[in-house]
A and B are shown apart, each in its own frame.
Chain A
Amino acid sequence: DADVTQTPRNRITKTGKRIMLECSQTKGHDRMYWYRQDPGLGLRLIYYSFDVKDINKGEISDGYSVSRQAQAKFSLSLESAIPNQTALYFCATSDLGREGRYEQYFGPGTRLTVT
């Protein structure tokens, strides 16, 4: 079984709809991240969370919100989707305090299309 899972894997929605993307991990990591990937732009950080009580904005947080329901779960919401939020979204985790602190582990991605 995958260590970092994302649901759904693909979603098509209409402008103005509310969408939630979910991420779960079994790695026991403290830190979780949401990125979006656009062609030619690489991955850009939307939000990150150190633990359940600590959530921080990344470089492109406008139009998004997140919820850290448990150590293992981190959800990304688009309150009112717009077409330029069409992208591939990745969740990632990393560990605090050990050598693995410097490596992020990525989920398989969610392809979101807003029409």
Chain B
Amino acid sequence: AQSVTQLDSQVPVFEEAPVELRCNYSSSVSVYLFWYVQYPNQGLQLLLKYLSGSTLVKGINGFEAEFNKSQTSFHLRKPSVHISDTAEYFCAVSPFKAAGNKLTFGGGTRVLVKP
């Protein structure tokens, strides 16, 4: 079984400041890793994913994440946030051989960007 922990439930940040959202996971097997974003009153949208290769992954809207296998972490970063980045962010994992691409989600981190 897998579990995902997002260490911060809420992150307030000023516009144009950097932000980091922390994600740690636990799994007895190798996993793929994902970050999803949920804007207010919308469904989830994929920000980025790590399947293999370079551990630094770039996604949409200027976000990037780094996979650290030894620390079982997949932290999300953005060097300069905008008001429009206000949303909830979810980290998720899926085992390499999971039937049905089953995802296990973390509890979410709510980012509030202040002017």
Contact = CB atoms under 8 A, between A and B. Distances in A.
Interface of A: 4, 31, 33, 40-45, 48, 50, 56, 58, 90, 92, 94, 101-104, 106-109
Contacts of B90: 42-43
Interface in B81-99: 90, 92, 94, 99
Contact of A42 (B32, B46, B102, B107): B107
A58 B102 contact: yes
Nearest to B101: A94
Contacts of B94: 102
A106 B108 contact: no
Contact of B101 (A90, A104, A106, A109): A104
A106 B9 contact: no
Contacts of B4: 42
B49 A102 contact: yes
Given A56-B99, A109-B43, 17 more contacts: A4-B43, A31-B101, A33-B100, A40-B9, A40-B107, A40-B108, A42-B92, A43-B44, A43-B90, A43-B103, A45-B103, A48-B102, A56-B100, A94-B101, A103-B46, A104-B101, A108-B41
B61 interface: no
